[in-house]
Amino acid sequence: MSSEFRNTVRANLAKPEVRANFYRAMDGLMTRRLDQFPDKAELERLRTQSMAIRANALSKLPELLETLEANLTRNGIQVHWAETPEQGNQIVQAILERHNAKSIIKGKSMVSEEMGMNHFLEALGIECLESDLGEFIIQLDGETPSHIIMPAIHKNRVQIAKLFHEKFPDIPYTEDVDELTQMARRILRDKFYATTVGLSGVNFMVAETGTLCLVENEGNGRMSTTAPSVHIAVTGIEKVVESLSDVPPLLSILTRSATGQPITTYFNMISGPRKPGEKDGPEEVHLVLLDNGRSNIYSDPELLATLRCIRCGACINHCPVYVRIGGHSYGTVYPGPIGSILEPQKAGLDVHGELAQASTLCGACSEVCPVRIPIPSILNRLRYDGVRRDTANTNTVGSGKRRTLSEAATWKTWAWAATHPAIYHAGSTLATRFKGMLPTNLGAWTTVRSAPKLAESTLHQQVKNLGVDHE
């Protein structure tokens, strides 16, 4: 692991309050999810069905994207393709400039985080206001999300109360959650009406009908997509599903896995701009489809499963590493298990390959994943790609870049010894005989553990002493 990653993790581990916030929140989310699936057979059936829906969509991705574009265009939604975050930001900039917009109000969108949109637009003098309560809180504090569905989960009520009081000193101090929420609601309400352009993410895009589906709890998504006269939706190319009938099972498992809710408060289906005679809705709707490495992931039959993700966050909530180190330790837009497989593939193993190591491979993530993504297998594959020598046989960006001579030599020596029984036997006999001379300080490994102790005799000797015929 790089010293930068190690230092960030160490710094976050030293914040007991943040760790307590994560523990409390993740405990609650795990319990609520469990309560939503009292029937294990139904859960497994729904997981299999959801996996099949996503796998089917990915198996036809190019055709479905063409159908989607045709149907969205027929519905009056303008479709834009962006290969990189920079291109995506430029598309958004051009739309804003055409409308002479100096501000934008945003519903929650992880893809806009991926694009670094706020920084990009703010550098152009355009105000970006987050309207999701969690995003609003972290924006006030100049932070990034620490969780994909609950961006401010690392903060507790008192911390948020103090932050609001610091940023809005005219408003009386309160730690009452309802009052804090009302405060944010009042501040944001006027902005929805005063802003020309609203931006949102997308949970599912239905190719068959040209519909954009948006799942949310606060109503800010609906406000961002209907009150301003222009709506820009941004999402990744993988979010497409084939038909409308694919949505209910995915929606059902998404909300139950994510927050333990049977359904979210709002479910928006956007099928075009306001039609003549309609009283509300935007006059223009745009969809920006971001690739950002997804096509490359798509080209690998094993890594392709990564794109099944419906961003429920369940793998994050159940990850023993995430709950200890917190979302900000990862230093990426997507933290936790999904981040550890997605970010190294997007940015390259040379940039974020260490995240694939930041896992115990306990498998809790894949046990709860609603679309059965085999996260531990993908982590192992990325670990292998990071150190592999034959980099010509893989498309993973940064393959072989994590290979170090010392590590390669160590494993080569071990492999050689393990395949030469006489050498291995001599080595293990010597090690047991002189075990008292072996080091007990094994660096970082022994800062929180005792060094493993060698047995009194080798396994071969023990078996021999028991009189077992090794044949």
In this complex, which beta carbon is closest to ligand SF4, that of residue 37 or of residue 192?
37
Q: Where are the beta strands (DSSP E) in 201-271?
A: 204-206, 211-216, 230-236, 240-241, 266-270
Q: Which stretch binds ligand SF4 (CB under 6 A): 40-48, 73-81, 307-315, 425-433?
A: 307-315
Query: Judging by DSSP bridges, how do beta strands 266-270 and 211-216 pair with one another?
Result: antiparallel
If one asks whether residue 314 binds ligand SF4 (CB under 6 A), the answer comes out as: yes
In this complex, which beta carbon is closest to ligand SF4, that of residue 160 or of residue 368?
368
Cβ–Cβ under 8 Å, residues 48 and 249: no
The CB-of-12 to ligand SF4 minimum distance in angstroms stands at 21
User: Among all chains, which residue has been given the structure tokens 């401010």?
Assistant: 152
Could you give the CA distance from residue 343 to residue 352 in angstroms, rounded to a whole number? 6
Instruction: Candidates 96, 321, 371, 382: give the one binding ligand SF4 (CB under 6 A).
Output: 371
If one asks whether residue 369 binds ligand SF4 (CB under 6 A), the answer comes out as: yes
Instruction: Candidates 312, 355, 356, 379: give the one binding ligand SF4 (CB under 6 A).
Output: 312
If one asks whether residue 373 binds ligand SF4 (CB under 6 A), the answer comes out as: yes
Number of residues interacting with ligand SF4: please give it, by CB under 6 A. 13
Q: Which stretch binds ligand SF4 (CB under 6 A): 108-116, 172-180, 194-202, 310-318?
A: 310-318
By CB under 6 A, the residues from 254 to 273 that bind ligand SF4 are none
If one asks whether residue 313 binds ligand SF4 (CB under 6 A), the answer comes out as: yes
If one asks whether residue 338 binds ligand SF4 (CB under 6 A), the answer comes out as: yes
Closest to 355 measured CA to CA, from 371, 333, 373: 333
b/e 268-285 (16+ beta carbons within 10 angstroms → b): bebbbbbeeeeeebbebb
The CB-of-314 to ligand SF4 minimum distance in angstroms stands at 4
If one asks whether residue 319 binds ligand SF4 (CB under 6 A), the answer comes out as: no
In this complex, which beta carbon is closest to ligand SF4, that of residue 273 or of residue 336?
336
If one asks whether residue 315 binds ligand SF4 (CB under 6 A), the answer comes out as: yes
In this complex, which beta carbon is closest to ligand SF4, that of residue 369 or of residue 397?
369
Could you give the CA distance from residue 93 to residue 222 in angstroms, rounded to a whole number? 22
Instruction: Candidates 33, 147, 191, 311: give the one binding ligand SF4 (CB under 6 A).
Output: 311
If one asks whether residue 309 binds ligand SF4 (CB under 6 A), the answer comes out as: yes
R_g (Cα) of the chain, nearest Å: 26
The CB-of-36 to ligand SF4 minimum distance in angstroms stands at 14
C-alpha distance from residue 446 to each of 59, 149, 441, 449 (Å)? 47, 36, 6, 5
If one asks whether residue 310 binds ligand SF4 (CB under 6 A), the answer comes out as: yes
The CB-of-76 to ligand SF4 minimum distance in angstroms stands at 31
Other CB atoms within 10 Å distance of the CB of residue 47: 20
In this complex, which beta carbon is closest to ligand SF4, that of residue 313 or of residue 398?
313
Q: Which stretch binds ligand SF4 (CB under 6 A): 106-114, 296-304, 309-317, 431-439?
A: 309-317
If one asks whether residue 51 binds ligand SF4 (CB under 6 A), the answer comes out as: no
**Exposed/middle/buried for residue 363 (C-beta within 10 Å: 0-12, 13-18, 19+):** middle
Instruction: Candidates 331, 370, 376, 386: give the one binding ligand SF4 (CB under 6 A).
Output: 370
Query: Judging by DSSP bridges, how do beta strands 77-82 and 284-290 pair with one another?
Result: parallel
Is 142 in a helix, a strand, or coil?
coil
In this complex, which beta carbon is closest to ligand SF4, that of residue 210 or of residue 313?
313
Q: What is the DSSP letter of 23?
A: H
Q: Which stretch binds ligand SF4 (CB under 6 A): 72-80, 81-89, 98-106, 369-377?
A: 369-377
The CB-of-130 to ligand SF4 minimum distance in angstroms stands at 21
Non-local CB neighbours of 203 within 8 Å, separated by 6+ positions:
213, 214, 215, 239, 251, 254, 310, 311
By CB under 6 A, the residues from 75 to 94 that bind ligand SF4 are none
In this complex, which beta carbon is closest to ligand SF4, that of residue 160 or of residue 373?
373
The CB-of-308 to ligand SF4 minimum distance in angstroms stands at 7
In this complex, which beta carbon is closest to ligand SF4, that of residue 147 or of residue 402?
147
Copy the structure tokens of residue 240.
Answer: 């497409």
Q: What is the DSSP letter of 71?
A: H
What is the number of residues in the chain? 471
The CB-of-338 to ligand SF4 minimum distance in angstroms stands at 4
Ordered DSSP codes for 81-137: EESSHHHHHHHHHHHHHHTT-SEEEE---HHHHHHTHHHHHHHTT-EEEE-SHHHHH
Cβ–Cβ under 8 Å, residues 358 and 375: no
Residues in touch with ligand SF4 (CB under 6 A): 309-315, 338, 368-371, 373
